[in-house]
Amino acid sequence: MIIHDKQFELFISSNQIQSQIADLAERISADYADKCPLFIGVLNGSFMFASDLLKEVNIPAEITFIKVASYAGMQSTGKARELLGLSQSVKDRHVVVVEDIVDSGITMEGIIHQLEQAGVASVEVASLLLKPECLQREVDVKYVGFEIPEKFVVGYGLDYDGLGRNLKDIYQLRLD
């Protein structure tokens, strides 16, 4: 499949994604059974994962979304980014940050730092994808769907310059 100028190939199917999400939701539901967690999805990329994950979470829970400034093309800008749109209080809440991908970890480090400053009772991360080889920050991702290699991916919320978010499978950049 071609997106903009690049060739991508199927990497993780929709069925694999949904099965992994069911497992994550079961673990999270058990861990937070008596905590009424606040899930915070990070827009735009997490919209599909947050939606499918929360449908499988079977305990009382709240969901809200935040945005951080954007990441153009295929490279991280390397700067910690501002957290926008957190309208409700997170003080004393058990928060689960929901992300499509933790790559360098710079975005997540910034988000966790700002939530801790705001007085959360606890914060953990649920990320569908994690690129362990790319981590430049010490970020503990408790709930990981798939650990993947360094290659750029699109689909299921993830974009390449704005395109590909609506794909229900995940595709990997073809290097040839």
The answer to whether the CB of 139 falls within 8 A of the CB of 102 is yes
The catalytic position among 23, 52, 100, 103 is 103
119 burial class (0-12, 13-18, 19+ CB within 10 angstroms)? exposed
Nearer to ligand HPA, 15 or 70 (CB): 70
Among 3, 11, 41, 45, interactor with ligand PRP by CB under 6 A: 45
Q: Which alpha helices (H) appear in 57-168, and where do they start and end?
A: 106-117
The answer to whether the CB of 153 falls within 8 A of the CB of 159 is no
Instruction: Give yes or no for residue 47 binding ligand HPA (CB under 6 A).
Output: no
Is residue 103 part of the annotated active site? The answer reads yes
Contact range with ligand PRP by CB under 6 A, out of 6-14, 85-93, 94-102, 117-125: 94-102
Q: What character string, x for contact with ligand PRP (CB under 6 A) and - otherwise, covers 104-133?
A: xxxxx-------------------------
DSSP element (H, E) containing 37: none
Site for ligand PRP, residues 12 to 41, rule: CB under 6 A: none
Q: What character string, x for contact with ligand HPA (CB under 6 A) and - otherwise, covers 65-94?
A: ------x-----------------------
What sign has the CA pseudo-torsion 137, 141, 147, 152?
negative
How far apart CA 98 and CA 175 sit, in angstroms, is: 29
Instruction: Give yes or no for residue 101 binding ligand HPA (CB under 6 A).
Output: yes
Nearest alpha-carbon partner for 139 in 109, 117, 166, 116: 109
**Enzyme catalytic residues:** 103
Q: Which residues bind ligand PRP (CB under 6 A)?
A: 42, 44-45, 70-71, 76, 99-108, 159
